């Protein structure tokens, strides 16, 4: 099957067509799963009363819980617009193709730019982002996850052969954009020609650091030393270190590799990561041999990492931090533990993959060197028990049977399988509550739950934090580390919300008690806490507004109170978009929200309207009275 026929499929769905998983037929296992489902119902239905689960007095309930939602919930809709509550407004701040320097032409709707203009313009498909204050300036760092061929390429729209510049333009629209922003005349705008503006692309030279650096598996023709990597792409969620650097997370890196020789068989190790002889339609191997796995079989081993970027130095060399493992990284939520060690929580977003934790050996001290903190440390993977407890399993050569720490950092999925980690319903963003030792992870959906194994052959039984077969709606799991210590091996967990549709279902697919006809949604993805301790939830789901999803409208953003469990809808995105990426100005009077791929199926002209090409963009959301927004 040609990838070109499949570009409406998600990466995950495409992987599955190329590398089909075995069907599960084990009758005993199905019966066991049904029993565990009953056990789950008995144990975890009391959403919002999780004191019963953990009873840890270290958890502080906010005094102002009743006042925490500074807005009235909005209904859903299917409009080609951004909708926010009364008293709020949303202004577009920066869009795909906006030139970062004044010698670059403005975005051209007829051609959609060239590789040359795109390399010096804001990238496509805005995703994870954060704001950094530096010498009085506001620097916004944003992932540009991927491109949609039918939007970026005129030849694809016109069904002509996609030419080399289209391929190169698509490549240059990936990566990361660093851009200064400022409230000019009271309206947030990006600053052309700022000395901090920078585009990081799939061609930017990076250092490969940590345990995997120099290993044979990362040596390539381009870098026989195995200590460099060229570029980053498919950066999804993000993170921010306590020392003020940005973490870009490489997710579906596999979808860009192909083999000129279609009979080429990729290794089982690459198959585990979804690499195959066919790419997802990007055609990068046609302009760069690095992406031909028959010629450069180790190139995919240089991708799939967390990339640390210093936005305050536009000449800094980004560092791929192999100590944080190699998988389809969603985001990287870093917390400083009570003892000063840095703990980074990370999801691997694929059906039936795992949830990870990194613990640094060294301790963070403001002002002291932080060079070692993402270099030397230990990876753990989560195992969830049915009884509401869980364990972090350490990934070491001893526990995994693998030859070295380097190998664990390259074949991290295989390490997780070796120790029997819990297969999850696609772990997306992880967010740590600033008011409590408590962490949340969006499990977006998983049509294979209880039906097929993951790519490594691990079973995906229904139960625990993944309680529904063929999970269509997703859920958010949360856990509290034992003793409030993020480095502890044990934790207690429950589900914060089981998304669903109570107007279409009256079983588990109705969702948990904090889901109702007015706030329902599907496929939670982006998660971030604000400074008040509200959990913001962004969705990347089915926007058909029909059947199982009737009444759920376009993708959206909601806010949840972690204490009461209440969830309210705050924002509805334009048609066929995903809402992803969230951060705030330093004064907390502006919230920046990412609108990714409006019109991915051809039915949007947002944000410019008329017959304009739809463009991913970041919006600035403010209160009309100038009040705080998080
Ligand atoms: Fe790029 Fe898992 O979302
Ligand atoms: Ca995501
Ligand atoms: Ca998603
Ligand atoms: Ca997306």
- Ligand 1 atom with the shortest distance to the CA of 347: 2
Atom nearest to 251 CA in ligand 1:
1
Task: Give the per-residue pLDDT at 41.
Answer: 30
- How many whole angstroms separate alpha carbon 448 and alpha carbon 521? 20
Q: What's the pLDDT score for residue 262? A: 81
Nearest atom within ligand 1 for CA of residue 328: 2
**Cα distance between residue 30 and residue 205, in whole Å:** 49
What are 610's two structure tokens?
Answer: 């008329």
User: Is residue 12 in contact with ligand 1, taking CB distance under 6 Å?
Assistant: no
CB atoms within 10 A of CB 65: 14
- Ligand 1, atom nearest to 349 Cα: 2
Check if 578 has its Cβ closer than 6 Å to any atom of ligand 1. Answer: no
- The C-alpha atoms of residue 18 and residue 138 are separated, in whole angstroms, by 44
> What average pLDDT does the segment 347-368 reach?
98
HEC string of 103-171 equals: CCCCCCCCCCCCHHHHCCECCCCEEEEEEEEECCEEEEEEEECCCCHHHHCHHHHCCCCCCHHHHHHHH
pLDDT digit string (tens) for 20-71? 554 443 333 332 333 233 333 333 333 333 333 333 323 333 444 456 899 9
CA of 444 to the centre of ligand 1 (A): 9
Contacts of 474 (CB under 8 A, 6+ apart): 425, 426, 442, 443, 444, 445, 499, 522, 523, 524, 541
Neighbours of 454 (CB within 10 A): 23
Rounded to the nearest whole angstrom, what is the distance from the C-alpha of residue 319 to the centroid of ligand 2? 22
Q: What is the pLDDT of residues 63-109, one digit of tens each?
A: 444 568 999 999 999 999 999 999 999 999 999 999 999 999 999 99
pLDDT digits 0-9 by tens, 152-188: 999 999 999 889 999 999 999 999 999 999 999 989 9
Beta carbon of 330 within 6 Å of any ligand 1 atom: yes
Alpha carbon distance 400, 317 (integer Å)? 33
- pLDDT at 5 exceeding the cut of 50: no
Question: Does ligand 1 have an atom closer than 6 angstroms to the CB of 145?
Answer: yes
Burial 525-558 (b: 16+ CB within 10 A, else e): bbbbbbebbbbbbbbbbbbeeeeebeebbbbbbb
- What is the distance in A from the centroid of ligand 1 to the CA of 506? 29
Q: Considering only CA atoms, which of 127, 11, 74 is closest in space to residue 553? A: 74
CA gap 626, 87 in Å, rounded: 10
Q: How far is the CA of 471 from the centre of ligand 1 (A)?
A: 17
Query: For ligand 1, atom 1, which residue shows the shortest CA distance?
Result: 236
- Distance (angstroms) between ligand 3 centre and the Cα of 109 equals 28
pTM of this structure: 0.92
Q: Assign 274 a pLDDT band (cuts: 50, 70, 90).
A: very high
Provide the token pair at 568. 């309210």
- The DSSP letter of residue 612 is P
Q: Which pair of tokens denotes residue 239?
A: 């993170």
- Whole-angstrom CA distances from 215 to 4, 159, 219 are 35, 43, 7
**Cα–Cα distance measured from residue 139 to residue 93, given in angstroms and rounded to the nearest whole number:** 13
pLDDT tens profile 192-202: 999 999 999 99
Task: Please work out whether the CB of residue 350 comes within 6 Å of at least one atom of ligand 1.
Answer: no
Whole-number percent of the chain with pLDDT over 70: 89
Q: Which helix or strand (DSSP H or E) is residue 42 part of?
A: helix 27-44
The residue ranges of every structural domain in the chain are: 3-336+378-422+429-623
Question: What ligand is nearest to the CA atom of residue 126?
Answer: 4
| Cα–Cα distance, 152 to 222 (Å, whole number) | 29
Check if 349 has its Cβ closer than 6 Å to any atom of ligand 1. yes
pLDDT at position 68: 83
Tell me, using a 6 A CB cutoff, whether residue 428 lines ligand 1: yes
């Amino acid at each position: 099957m040609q990838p070109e026929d499949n570009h409406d499929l998600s990466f995950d769905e495409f992987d599955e067509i190329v590398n089909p998983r075995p069907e599960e037929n084990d009758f005993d296992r199905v019966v066991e799963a049904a029993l565990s489902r009953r056990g789950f119902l008995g144990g975890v239905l009391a959403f919002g009363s999780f004191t019963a689960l953990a009873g840890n007095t270290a958890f502080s309930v906010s005094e102002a819980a009743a006042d925490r939602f500074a807005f009235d919930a909005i209904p859903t809709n299917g409009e080609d617009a951004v909708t926010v509550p009364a008293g709020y407004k949303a202004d577009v701040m920066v869009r795909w193709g906006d030139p970062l320097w004044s010698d670059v032409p403005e975005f051209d709707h007829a051609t959609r730019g060239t590789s040359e203009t795109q390399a010096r313009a804001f990238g496509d498909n805005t995703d994870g982002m954060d704001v950094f204050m530096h010498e009085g300036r506001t620097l916004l760092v944003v992932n540009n996850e991927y491109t949609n061929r039918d939007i970026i390429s005129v030849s694809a729209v016109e069904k002509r052969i996609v030419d080399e510049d289209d391929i190169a333009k698509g490549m240059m629209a990936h990566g990361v954009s660093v851009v200064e922003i400022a409230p000019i005349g009271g309206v947030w705008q990006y600053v052309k020609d700022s000395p901090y503006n920078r585009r990081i692309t799939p061609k930017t030279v990076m250092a490969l650091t940590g345990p995997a650096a120099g290993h044979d598996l990362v040596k390539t023709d381009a870098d026989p030393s195995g200590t460099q990597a060229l570029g980053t792409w498919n950066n999804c969620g993000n993170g921010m270190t306590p020392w003020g650097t940005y973490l870009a997370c490489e997710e579906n890196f596999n979808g860009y590799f192909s083999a000129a020789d279609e009979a080429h068989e990729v290794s089982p190790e690459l198959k585990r990561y979804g690499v195959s002889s066919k790419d997802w339609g990007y055609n990068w191997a046609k302009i760069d041999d690095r992406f031909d796995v028959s010629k450069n079989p180790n190139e995919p081993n240089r991708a799939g990492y967390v990339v640390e970027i210093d936005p305050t130095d536009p000449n800094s060399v980004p560092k791929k931090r192999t100590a944080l493992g190699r998988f389809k990284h969603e985001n990287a939520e870093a917390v400083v533990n009570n003892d000063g060690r840095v703990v980074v929580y990370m999801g691997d977003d694929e059906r039936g993959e795992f949830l990870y934790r990194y613990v640094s050996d060294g301790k963070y001290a403001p002002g002291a060197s932080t060079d070692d903190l993402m270099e030397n440390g230990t990876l753990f993977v989560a195992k969830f028990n049915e009884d509401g407890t869980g364990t972090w399993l350490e990934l070491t050569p001893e526990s995994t049977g693998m030859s070295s720490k380097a190998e664990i950092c390259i074949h991290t999925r295989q390490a997780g399988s070796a120790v029997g980690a819990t297969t999850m319903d696609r772990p997306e963003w992880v967010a740590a509550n600033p008011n409590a030792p408590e962490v949340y992870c969006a499990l977006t959906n998983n049509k294979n739950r209880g039906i097929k194994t993951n790519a490594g052959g691990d079973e995906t039984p229904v139960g625990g934090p993944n309680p529904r077969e063929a999970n269509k709606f997703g859920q958010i799991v949360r856990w509290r580390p034992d003793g409030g210590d993020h480095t502890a091996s044990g934790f207690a967990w429950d589900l914060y919300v089981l998304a669903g549709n109570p107007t279409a279902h009256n079983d588990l697919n109705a969702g948990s008690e904090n889901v109702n006809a007015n706030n329902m949604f599907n496929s939670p993805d982006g998660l971030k806490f604000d400074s008040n301790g509200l959990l913001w939830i962004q969705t990347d789901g089915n926007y058909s507004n029909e059947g199982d999803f009737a009444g759920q409208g376009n993708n959206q953003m909601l806010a949840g109170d972690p204490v009461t469990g209440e969830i309210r809808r705050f924002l509805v995105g334009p048609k066929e978009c995903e809402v992803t990426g969230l951060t705030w100005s330093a004064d907390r009077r502006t919230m920046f929200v990412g609108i990714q791929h409006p019109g991915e199926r051809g039915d949007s002209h947002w944000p410019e309207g008329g017959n304009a090409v739809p463009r991913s963009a970041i919006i600035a959301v403010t209160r009309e009275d100038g009040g705080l927004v998080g």
